[in-house]
């Protein structure tokens, strides 16, 4: 069996920026074990698989370790593949996912993704989290990740966490964040439990970060930067219980996977 595969740099304006994701269109769903092995072989933070269903698409995402319920950059990459390579002609794509209906709209400035917002709540920080980061945070909150608020962009940039300790936490991962020097807020995201020590640009994290900073800064439209080595800019618009994440995407490669089932 041959499967088409695309690798796209999401939240990027040039190759080697943003967050790379693999995208595999399928005619029908393969066994989960095969999807997981493909994602493990790709060894990217996410591989997206999708199947056409009537007027929408069923979309799933896999890390090298497990399936996840929400992934922003791989959704952006999938929309890019549909618009730019597979002849999708409408302005908006609907995706059916484990996180409900997600839509992606194409515009002259890139793509806008309509995602559910998650408002993180203040919590007492687990001791292992503080030990792993080696800092005294301003705040610690939790949603589907721990959100650790630091005092400055310099602290976020210089963080060297203990990934082994972070992998023992009960939630999916950890986001560290602070006000930005030139943008509204900055962040870095760590998911060692999913075999992704540091994710380059994390769309789903901004579903938690944007509502927090929107309330704190008193504004609904924000510009964020993720300070990984590859870096990326994420536009965020908080609309009620939704977040529109905005960014662009560029092609890195196209190819074929040959597997036996």
Return all residues near 31 (Cβ < 8 A) that are at least 6 apart: 261
Q: Given 14, 40, 41, 46, which residue is catalytic?
A: 46
Q: Is the pLDDT of residue 134 over 90?
A: yes
Q: What per-residue confidence (pLDDT) applies to 108?
A: 85
How confident is the model at residue 130, as a pLDDT? Answer: 97
Joined together, the tokens standing for residue 139 give: 């705040």
- Work out the mean pLDDT of the chain and round it to a whole number: 96
Its pTM stands at 0.89
Yes or no: say if 140 and 124 are a contact pair by the CB < 8 Å rule.
yes
Residues 22 and 6: beta-carbon distance below 8 Å: yes
Distance CA 167, CA 242 (A): 29
- In CATH, the number for domain 2-111+247-258 is 3.10.310.10
Per-residue pLDDT at 185:
98
pLDDT per position as a tens digit, 104-132: 999 888 999 999 999 999 999 999 999 99
Residue 260 has pLDDT above 90, yes or no: no
Assess whether pLDDT exceeds 90 at residue 256. yes
CA distance 146 to 170: 9
Closest CA to 94 of 84, 105, 86: 105
Q: What is the pLDDT of residues 42-79, one digit of tens each?
A: 999 999 999 999 899 999 999 999 999 999 999 999 99
Tell me 88's DSSP state.
-
**DSSP type of residue 66:** -
In the block, tokens 């950890």 appear at 174
Active site annotation includes 46:
yes
Does residue 160 have a pLDDT over 90? yes
pLDDT digits (tens, 9 = 90+) for 68-107: 999 999 999 999 999 999 999 999 999 999 999 999 999 8
CB atoms within 10 A of CB 62: 26
Q: Report pLDDT for 107.
A: 87
Q: Where in the chain is the domain with CATH 3.10.310.10?
A: 2-111+247-258, 121-240
- 197-213 pLDDT tens trace: 999 999 999 999 999 99
The percent of residues above 70 in pLDDT, for the chain, comes to 100
Phi-psi category of residue 218: left, alpha or beta, with phi > 0 → left and psi -120 to 50 → alpha: left
* Sequence-distant (≥ 6) Cβ neighbours of residue 83 within 8 angstroms: 93, 106
Answer yes or no: CATH 3.40.640.10 is held by domain 121-240.
Answer: no
- Strands (E) located in 118-261: 121-122, 139-142, 146-149, 174-179, 185-191, 196-199, 221-226, 232-239, 242-247, 249-258
């Amino acid at each position: 069996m041959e499967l088409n595969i695309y690798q796209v740099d999401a939240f990027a304006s040039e190759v080697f920026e943003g967050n790379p994701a693999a995208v595999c269109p399928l005619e029908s769903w393969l066994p989960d074990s095969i999807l997981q092995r493909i994602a493990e072989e790709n060894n990217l933070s996410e591989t997206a698989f999708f199947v056409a269903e009537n007027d929408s698409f069923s979309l799933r995402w896999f890390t090298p370790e497990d399936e996840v319920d929400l992934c922003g950059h791989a959704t952006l990459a999938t929309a890019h593949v549909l618009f730019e390579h597979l002849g999708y002609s409408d302005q908006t794509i609907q995706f059916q996912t484990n996180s409900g209906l997600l839509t992606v709209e194409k515009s002259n400035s890139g793509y806008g993704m309509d995602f559910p917002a998650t408002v993180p709540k203040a919590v007492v920080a687990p001791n292992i989290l503080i030990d792993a980061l080696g800092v005294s945070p301003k705040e610690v909150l939790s949603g589907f990740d721990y959100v650790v608020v630091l005092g400055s962009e310099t602290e976020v940039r210089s963080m060297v966490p203990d990934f082994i300790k972070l992998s023992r936490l009960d939630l999916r991962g950890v986001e560290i964040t602070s006000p930005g020097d030139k943008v509204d807020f900055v962040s870095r995201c760590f998911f060692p439990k999913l075999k992704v020590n540091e994710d380059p640009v994390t769309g789903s994290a901004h579903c938690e970060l944007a509502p927090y900073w929107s309330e704190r800064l008193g504004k609904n439209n924000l510009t964020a930067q993720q300070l990984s080595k590859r870096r990326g800019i994420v536009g965020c618009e908080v609309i009620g219980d939704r977040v529109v994440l905005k960014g662009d995407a560029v092609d890195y490669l196209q190819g074929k996977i040959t597997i036996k089932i």
